[in-house]
Amino acid sequence: MRSSSSSWRSWTDMPPIVADCMITAPKTLPLNASVEAARAEFEDTHVHLLLLVADGILHGTILRTDLLNAPPETPALSHATLTNRTIAPNEPITTAQQSLARLGQRRLAVVDATNRLLGLLCLKRDHTGFCTDEGVAARARERDHATR
């Protein structure tokens, strides 16, 4: 599927790239978020990777396993990394799939050369494709409706 914000490219002309398959408005946390706040975000089973961002720049990412022994009051950023958790938007989607398989992960932050956060590549649980902005919005509406 193509992201609505991606520039148009014919499927027959070029293979898909990461920018074509990413969600464009991922949830982020501020740099001063605590480990306790990060753990609260992970209570949502759809959250696999937290993005610590300031002024649009990605400073770190966190997986649940990064916080296993972390004291709740410590800054989440001190447990974050960018290593093996980012990808450029112009990478072929096959490269992203290979990286995710090699790392045993389902999420990669999409950043430009200056670490500006552009989106999030989210491999679906069944590995049949990638999450879309529309799918994320639909889940949010379902959650909102269920809590009313």
- What's the confidence (pLDDT) of residue 74? 96
Contact 16, 92 (CB under 8 A): yes
Per-residue DSSP letter, 56: T
Instruction: With CA atoms as reference, report the closest residue to 6 among 146, 110, 139.
Output: 110
Domains in the chain: ranges and CATH: 18-146 (3.10.580.10)
Contact 122, 87 (CB under 8 A): no
- What's the confidence (pLDDT) of residue 3? 44
- AA identity, residue 96: A
How far apart (Å, rounded) are the C-alpha atoms in residues 50 and 32?
13
Q: What is the pLDDT of residues 28-78, one digit of tens each?
A: 999 999 999 999 999 998 899 999 999 999 999 999 999 999 999 999 999
Phi, psi of 106 (to 5 degrees): -125, 5
